[in-house]
Each structure stands twice: as structure tokens, then as C-alpha cells.
Structure 1
Amino acid sequence: MKLHERIDERLREFLLTQPVFFVGTAPASADGHVNVSPKGMAGTFAVLGGHRVAYLDFTGSGAETIAHLRDNGRIVLMFCAFAGPPNIVRLHGHGRVVLPSDPDFGVLLGHFGDELPRGVRAIIDVQVERVSDSCGFAVPLLEYAGDRDLLQRWTERKNDADLDRYRERKNTHSIDGLPALTPSRRNV
């Protein structure tokens, strides 16, 4: 394993070319569940500086990451090379949930291009405190066939009120009962 002072240009290029990454969070309580979520879709991850990254958070069946970040802020993002030279990069830090109602949402959103997929409920903004990479010799070689379009097709079939109702049913609390999205703070 090698520690890096920051996300340099070589690491930035590696991070931005990976089609999938994994997000790990946990509640402060020792009784709570650790969560690991895969993230993907081209253009939904951005390197904002040597110690800062962000990604688009979409409407989904849970809101563990949001709840855990509100509880304690701890987060790790892991990127694995499934093609080319083996490599695993981990970004440890503290994240915050930026909702569409937050003043800096629009500025952050500008880092993700003009063609944003429907269903974005938040942006996860991460202050990176530790950057490391390791060999990844045991990570399998996989062929990338492309992004799935199922999430986009699902959200396109819903109007804003439908998405609001879904988020209210599925995204207000974590599986451990921690608050996540509340009706007054949901994306619209």
C-alpha cells in the first residue's frame, strides 16, 4: 500500500476512468449496520481538488449513505481497476449531503456537465483526508459493456410528485432508524 499526499493528476485520471466505485459508511453506533454501495454511470463522479471529490446521489431503495453521513460524516470511496494494470484506490474522509435546497447545490452541480440524469436527490461532497492505493492483484479482469439505463428509464416514468412519494416511503430513515431524507429536505 502507498499513501499519497493528495489526488494528483495520475490518480485523478484513474478515478475518472473507472466505470464503477464503491462507497462505504457506517453509523456511529456499534450496533448499526455497515453499508457498502456500488456507484456508476458516466459523468456522475467529479474530482474537485487534491483533497475533495463529489458524486451524484440518485433516488434509490435506501438512503444509508445519507443517514450515516448525517450521523457522523465518515466515508470511504474505493475504486478498482477491472481492466488494465491492477490498482485499488481508497479515498477516506468526511462527507456531507448537499440537497437541491442548499445554497451551494447549483455550484456543485456545475461540475457534472449539462446533461444530468433525472432522479438526482443529492450531491455527496467529500473532504478527502487519506489517499491510498494498493496492488489489486486479486481483482478480476472484467469487460465493461456499458452503463445500465434502468434507473433513468424508471425515473423518467415518474413525475416529481411520484418521486417525492417514493422518497418519503423509502428514504426517510436508514435500516437502523437513523434519519436520512425528511419531507421538508427532500429533492424535488
Structure 2
Amino acid sequence: MGQQFDQLSEVLTRFIEAQHIFFVGTAGPQGRVNISPKGMDSLRVMSPNRIVWRNLTGSGNETAGHLAQINRMTLMWCGFEAKPMILRTYGSARTLHPRDADFAELNALFPASPGARQVYDMLIDLVQSSCGYAVPFMDYVEDREVLKGWAEQKGPDGVSDYWTTRNQQTIDGAPTYVTEPGT
């Protein structure tokens, strides 16, 4: 049932583009594994071995902190609406913050948002598909507007303050470098 590939095919790319949610998994060398759901218009398949996705400001900042320790990432999609499939991409990623040179160019791939915290530029080294026969059917209704409204209400300065007070460390205490570059 499961298959492995060294890159995304056109069929798999179309599957990704049809999904309304994906999950990102990361972990440091010690501590907790983090799996986060991501939605909205926040992911682009750039080539068969490259995905760019934007991380908006939220309550945690685990991905940045984990990638600063060990550069590995897994993205996963589930076919909830039609084709039963689970798709995972494995690889490494660059973390780009608003202060970084390539951030503006990659962030421009997505709708404007004052909550844009990082862009991740992932290089894929393995793609795996599996049946997804046990994944339930669920209907997409619409994206939630809560996070967008929160960031707009805070404005750029308020979001920056939030990074300083709430996004400096992972839940295990590792630095995320959200406001200052790592050494």
C-alpha cells in the first residue's frame, strides 16, 4: 500500500494543492516532538523537491526552535474529502525571519499578513504515500478568520511585542531566535 519516492510527482503536487490543512512535525535532540496543524493560504510547492510555507504568529514557536537544533522536518497531508491518501514529505528546511534577506521575496508568495513570523524553505529528500483508508471523511467549510483578525488588531508593533514576550523559547526552553539571530 505505501510507496516511497525521491520527489513529488504532478499527481502528488495536485493532491497537496487540493488540501485545506497540513501538519508539520519537528523535534529537537531531546524534549517533546511537536506536531502542528497549518491552514489558510500558507503553502506553495515550488518544485518536485522544494516546498515553501509561511508560519503565522501563534501561541508557540516550536518549529523554529527545533530546526535551530536539528534541521529535519516532516510535512503531512490527509485526504479528508475525496481520495483516501496520507502523504508525507521528509527533509530539511531553512528558517527565514522577517530580518533575513530572502524573507520578503518568499513571504510575498502569500496574502499579506502582519502576523507573518517565519517562512520555511524545505528541501525534500523523501516522499511517502500510504492508503489513508482509515482517515474519516470531513467536509471543508471555510478558513477561520480569528488569527488574521488577532494579528490585524495587534498591528506590527503588537505582534513584535508578542514575539518578545511569548515566542522566545520552545516549551522545552530552547531558543527560537524569533527576535535575534542565533550565534
TM class by shorter chain equals: over 0.9
Which of 104, 107, 114 does residue 105 from structure 2 map onto?
107
Q: How many residues align?
A: 180
* Partners of 1:182 and 1:77 in 2: CA distance: 21
In the alignment, the residues of structure 2 paired with residue 182 and residue 144 of structure 1 have an alpha-carbon distance, to the nearest angstrom, of: 32
Q: Which runs of 5+ in 2 are unaligned?
A: none
Return the offset for 1:107.
2.4
| 1:159 pairs with 2:158 | no
Q: Match for residue 171 of structure 1?
A: 167
- Cα distance between partner residues in 2 of 1:60 and 1:92: 24
SS at match of 2:64: helix
RMSD: 1.2
Deviation at 1:182, TM superposition (A): 4.3
Tell me if the contact between 2:114 and 2:159 (Cα under 8 Å) persists in the aligned partners.
no
Following superposition, the deviation at residue 184 of structure 1 comes to: 3.0
Q: Which moved more, 1:48-57 or 1:156-165?
A: 156-165
Give the alignment's TM-score, normalised by structure 2: 0.94
> In structure 2, what is the Cα distance between the partners aligned to 1:119 and 1:148?
15
Q: Percent identity?
A: 37
Is the contact between residue 114 and residue 155 of structure 2 (CA under 8 Å) also seen in structure 1?
A: no
CA contact (8 A) 2:115 2:156 kept: no
Tell me the equivalent position of 1:71: 69
Q: Is the 8 A contact 1:63 1:181 kept in 2?
A: no
Contact 1:70 1:96 in 2 (8 A): no
Question: In 2, Cα distance between the equivalents of 1:23 and 1:83?
Answer: 20
Q: 2:129 aligns with which of 124, 127, 133?
A: 133
TM-score by length of 1: 0.91
Contact 2:74 2:88 in 1 (8 A): yes
Q: Match for 1:146: what amino acid?
A: E
Distance in structure 1 (CA, Å) of the matches to 2:155 and 2:113: 14
Measured after TM superposition, the shift of residue 111 of structure 1 is: 3.0
Cα distance, 1:134–1:160 mapped onto 2, change above 3 Å: same
Paired position in structure 2 for 1:89:
87
| Aligned-partner SS, 1:111 | coil
Counterpart residue identity of residue 50, structure 2: R
